[in-house]
């Protein structure tokens, strides 16, 4: 997400977005996953501070005495995650207080991440979350739509702004 349009209706917002012209400078990229990648490395820790490799028992000893050994390499294809639940926020500034109505599994995390980014004291920000979102919706923490919604609402104080990420845009989210 690179910007947002504030309008009276979704139709007006879509029309205004269609009038925008955005230019990018293209650059070479390297997005292939492969075990022999020249920049591949083993991290010091993984998955919350655990060692990156784990081993149970004595696999070398078990292989040495096994009647049959099958030595094959298996890999899974690349997958592209797309949350089942699109991301939407309703943001409202009331004086110096920001309220976000959003679906998240971690409302306190949204406050602790966004308050400093928006220059707020965490006590002046509320996250109301009647539905926490599921594990298939990427609702573990704040995302760009929360920031854009808050900034858009700041431009029209006292008015609620709804910012919804389209299904199409969820692929790049």
What pLDDT digit, counting tens, does each position of 62-108 carry?
Answer: 999 999 999 998 888 877 777 777 788 999 999 999 999 998 888 99
For the segment 7-29, the average pLDDT, to the nearest whole number, is: 91
Burial class (CB in 10 A: 0-12, 13-18, 19+), 89: buried
**SS3 at position 103:** coil
**Full-model pTM:** 0.71
């Amino acid at each position: 997400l690179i910007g947002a349009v504030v309008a009276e209706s979704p139709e007006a917002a879509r029309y205004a977005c269609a009038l925008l012209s955005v230019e990018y400078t293209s650059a070479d990229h390297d997005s292939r996953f492969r075990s022999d990648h020249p920049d591949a490395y083993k991290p010091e820790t993984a998955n919350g501070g655990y060692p990156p490799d784990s081993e149970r028992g004595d696999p070398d000893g078990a292989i040495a005495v096994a009647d049959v050994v099958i030595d094959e390499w298996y890999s899974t294809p690349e997958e592209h995650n797309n949350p089942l639940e699109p991301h939407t926020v309703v943001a409202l500034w009331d004086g110096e207080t920001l309220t976000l109505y959003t679906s998240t599994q971690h409302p306190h995390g949204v406050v602790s991440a966004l308050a400093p980014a928006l220059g707020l004291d965490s006590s002046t920000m509320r996250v109301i979350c009647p539905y926490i979102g599921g594990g298939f919706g990427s609702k573990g923490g704040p995302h760009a739509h929360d920031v854009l919604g808050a900034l858009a609402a700041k431009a029209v104080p006292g008015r609620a702004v709804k910012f919804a990420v389209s299904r199409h845009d969820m692929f790049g989210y």
